[in-house]
Amino acid sequence: MIEMKLLKLALLFLLIMSCRNNSLKINSKVPISNFTDDSTLIGTWSICAEECNDTLYQFNTCSSLYFKSDGTGGYAKNSPFVEKFNWTYKKGFLKFHNDPENLSTTFADTAYYLVLNKRDSYIDLRISKIGEDFSYLSTR
- Per-residue pLDDT tens listing for the chain (140 residues): 666 665 555 554 445 545 544 333 334 334 444 455 667 889 999 999 999 998 999 999 999 999 999 999 999 987 788 999 999 988 778 899 988 888 888 888 778 988 888 888 888 889 998 888 899 999 98
What pLDDT was estimated at residue 24?
35
Q: What is the pLDDT of residue 22?
A: 37
State the alpha helices, DSSP H only, in the chain: 2-18
Asked whether 125 and 35 are in contact (CB, 8 A), the reply is no
Contact 76, 82 (CB under 8 A): yes
* Res 93: pLDDT: 86
Catalogue all structural domains in the chain, each as residue range(s) with its CATH number. Answer: 2-139 (2.40.128.280)
Nearest to 87 by CA among 115, 101, 107: 107
Contact 133, 124 (CB under 8 A): no
Q: What letter represents residue 95's amino acid?
A: K
pLDDT at 36: 53
Is 38 strand, coil or helix?
helix
Contact 93, 110 (CB under 8 A): no
| Interatomic CA distance for residues 56 and 50, integer angstroms | 6
pLDDT confidence of residue 51: 94
Residue among 11, 138, 10, 13 nearest 76 (CA): 138
